[in-house]
Amino acid sequence: MTRRRVLVTGGAGFLGSHLCENLLDQGHEVLCLDNFVTGRLSNLDHLRGNPRLEIVRHDVCVPLDVQVDEIFNLACPASPPDYQADPIQTMKTSVLGTLNLLELARACNAKIFQASTSEIYGDPHVHPQPESYWGNVNPIGPRSCYDEGKRCAETMLFDFHRQHNVEIKLVRIFNTYGPRMRPDDGRVVSNFVVQALKGDDITIYGQGSQTRSFCFVDDLIDGFLRLMASPPSFTGPVNLGNPGEFTIRELAEQVIALTGSRSRIVHRPLPVDDPRQRRPDISLASRELGWQPKIPLSEGLKQTIAYFDRLLATESHELPETA
Ligand code: NAD
Ligand code: UDP
């Protein structure tokens, strides 16, 4: 293996910290860049003694000048409450941030990987979603800062590829969960697990008939690394996610069963533009990358529950309410 210098933006976040760890394990030098808006330095605590890891506080909206061989752009808040907290900054992060990183990739002759999302399919009319589906996205709603920002980033990736020959890798990530999610990030898996462990009410938004497909983080990172190592002719977009599809009510019931919790299920209003169904068609990833998720929801939930259980035991006095 050739040691490479790899920039990971959003490296202190949930997915970014797992990616940094895997890249260090492979022997690379990792430059982890983050503004810590939703990421935490503690996600990298166990790696900080590694001399091949450098951590820099930086906002990707500001151009940067570093020399790297590869760029993974993961910088962007990902949970709906997080990205809606400052929608203008979310849009700037996807648009200006990705533009700055594409300019950097061009200047360094580096390969660039962009973390896009199943949200670019919006509330889909095609099910499951293949990469060829163009989506059904509201351009002016509360989710638009994220969905349209990510769509714009996809466009810029392909324009830099066609206009300047930049080598691109575009992944559309479907709901991913696992250790190092923030307990208060507002996403459904972290909310339900923390609520169940604390004995709080489990908050289902709407009737809970909406569906999602949940991928365990280790499977996703394996897909990231396979995509980055694929031949230059394979640009994506490629879906990565677990095609097992569950209603939100089924998820709540599984979490209650696995934690043995006495929490009650309560209903809260469904957020505006909440997609009714979501499941990836992963035939392209399977064919081009030889990738299939291996960890079923029940197994991934057990690992996630164990993580939050440990976290609550050490931090219980500091945790905010989730309901
Ligand atoms: P996260 O919020 O844990 O991580 C995002 C990281 O980006 C954080 O560390 C945050 O501090 C950093 N960041 C945000 N804005 C920044 C900026 N302007 N400059 C520098 N750093 C910035 O979320 P995550 O789940 O780890 O998501 C990582 C990426 O994957 C995001 O781009 C997200 O859109 C994408 N994604 C994630 C999922 C998922 O299910 N986890 C699904 C689809 C797409
Ligand atoms: N959700 C829920 N209760 C919660 C948090 C989320 O019922 O406490 C629902 C949410 O309305 C959505 C699904 O769970 O239908 C997934 O939400 P999440 O925010 O994790 O991700 P999304 O896929 O919507 O971006």
Q: Could you report the per-residue pLDDT of 123-180, keeping only the tens digit for each?
A: 999 999 999 999 999 999 999 999 999 999 999 999 999 999 999 999 999 999 999 9
The reply to whether the predicted model has a pTM over 0.95 is yes
Ligand 2 atom showing the smallest separation from residue 195 Cα: 8
Closest-lying ligand to the alpha carbon of 18?
Answer: 1
Could you tell me which of 131, 222, 122, 230 has the C-alpha nearest to residue 178?
222
Asked whether residue 121 carries a pLDDT value surpassing 90, the answer given is: yes
pLDDT band at 316 (very low <50, low <70, confident <90, very high): low
Axis-axis angle for helices 98-108, 144-164 (nearest 10): 20
What is the distance between the alpha carbons of residues 230 and 152, in angstroms, rounded to a whole number? 24
The answer as to CATH 3.30.70.270 being correct for domain 5-180+216-241+278-294 is no
Ligand 1 atom showing the smallest separation from residue 116 Cα: 44
Asked whether residue 62 carries a pLDDT value surpassing 60, the answer given is: yes
pLDDT band at 1 (very low <50, low <70, confident <90, very high): low
Q: Which residue has the least CA distance to atom 14 on ligand 1?
A: 76
| Model confidence pLDDT, tens digit, residues 6-31 | 999 999 999 999 999 999 999 999 99
pLDDT band at 57 (very low <50, low <70, confident <90, very high): very high
In the residue annotation, 146 being an active-site residue is answered as yes
Asked whether residue 319 carries a pLDDT value surpassing 90, the answer given is: no
pLDDT band at 323 (very low <50, low <70, confident <90, very high): very low
Asked whether residue 98 carries a pLDDT value surpassing 90, the answer given is: yes
pLDDT band at 318 (very low <50, low <70, confident <90, very high): low
DSSP 38: S
pLDDT of residue 315: 76
Instruction: Tell me if 311 CB under 6 Å of ligand 2.
Output: no
Identify the residue whose tokens are 């939930």: 301
Mean of all residue pLDDT scores within the chain: 96
What is the distance between the alpha carbons of residues 231 and 99, in angstroms, rounded to a whole number? 23
Length of the chain: 323
